[in-house]
């Protein structure tokens, strides 16, 4: 697995395909995901959107979009996290979140917020965030629609916590352990 932070124009279609493949998001939501790619391509870092794309054997199979919350000192939002269904449950989401946390910490971030739906369909998503060390910080009833709450998770991050938290082999079963660059404290994917 390889992480890529820089976007190219073809990522518009890749992100749409990943989002649509999950079956969780509406067409309108997929359009928003692509709009964020467009913003980053047009404005670069000034857009406020950061990306991590996960590639396996040359194919983009998952991604995350995040950014500093405007008017805050060190809070970041995790706007999007999506992995192709055939690649789920193999550690890819965990690896993406770990890379987001590492990047946020390196940018001076202290806390990450992740919003999701309260619908039954999103129970595995809420379980995932809890397993990743995120705590439910808020639940806003009927936020998205009647019966569809907004559930906000939060996690404090530090450079010490986020760097090197994954050991070789933790990410993806069968991944070669030489896919990491490692020193005494820090492990990065090549």
Q: What DSSP designation does 27 have? A: H
Neighbours of 142 (CB within 10 A): 11
- Look up the pTM and report it: 0.82
Confidence at residue 88, expressed as pLDDT on a 0 to 100 scale: 87
**Residue 159: predicted pLDDT:** 65
**pLDDT, tens digit (0-9, with 9 covering 90-100), for 38-89:** 999 999 999 999 999 999 999 999 999 999 999 999 999 999 999 999 888 8
Ranges of residues in the chain with a pLDDT under 50 are: 162-190
Q: Across the strands, what pairs with 60?
A: 55
- Report the pLDDT value the prediction gives residue 179, as an integer from 0 to 100: 33
What is the pLDDT, as a whole number, of residue 108?
94
- Taking CA atoms, 152 is separated from 69, 112, 117, 176, in Å, by 14, 10, 9, 35
- The pLDDT score that the predictor gives to residue 158 is 82
Q: What is the pLDDT of residue 169?
A: 41
Is residue 94 within 8 Å of residue 83, measured between CB atoms? no
| Cα 34 to Cα 104: distance, rounded to the nearest angstrom | 22
Whole-number pLDDT of residue 149? 96
Beta strand extents in the chain (DSSP E only): 2-4, 50-56, 59-68, 75-83, 111-117, 135-145, 148-156, 180-182, 187-189
Q: Residue 190 has what pLDDT?
A: 30
pLDDT at 87: 86
- Domain range annotation of the chain: 2-167
The token pair that represents 42 in the structure block: 């047009």
Q: Which whole-number Å values give the CA distances from 34 to 14, 41, 65, 77, 127, in the listed order?
A: 9, 11, 11, 17, 26
Side-chain half-sphere CA neighbours of 151 within 13 A: 18
pLDDT at 98: 95
Instruction: Considering the domain delimited by 2-167, tell me its CATH architecture.
Output: 3-Layer(aba) Sandwich (3.40)
């Amino acid at each position: 697995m390889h992480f890529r932070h820089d976007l190219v124009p073809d990522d518009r279609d890749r992100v749409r395909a990943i989002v649509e493949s999950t079956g969780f998001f509406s067409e309108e939501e997929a359009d928003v995901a692509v709009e964020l790619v467009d913003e980053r391509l047009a404005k670069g870092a000034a857009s406020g959107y950061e990306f991590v794309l996960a590639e396996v054997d040359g194919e983009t199979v998952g991604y995350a979009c995040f950014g500093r919350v405007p008017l805050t000192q060190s809070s970041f939002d995790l706007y999007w996290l999506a992995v192709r269904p055939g690649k789920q449950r193999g550690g890819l989401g965990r690896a993406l979140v770990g890379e987001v946390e590492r990047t946020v910490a390196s940018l001076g971030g202290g806390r990450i917020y992740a919003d999701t739906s309260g619908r039954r369909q999103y129970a595995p998503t809420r379980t995932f965030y809890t397993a990743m060390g995120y705590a439910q910080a808020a639940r806003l009833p009927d936020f998205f629609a009647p019966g569809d709450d907004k559930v906000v998770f939060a996690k404090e991050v530090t450079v010490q916590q986020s760097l090197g938290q994954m050991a070789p082999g933790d990410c993806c079963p069968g991944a070669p352990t030489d896919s990491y660059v490692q020193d005494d404290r820090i492990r990065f994917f090549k």
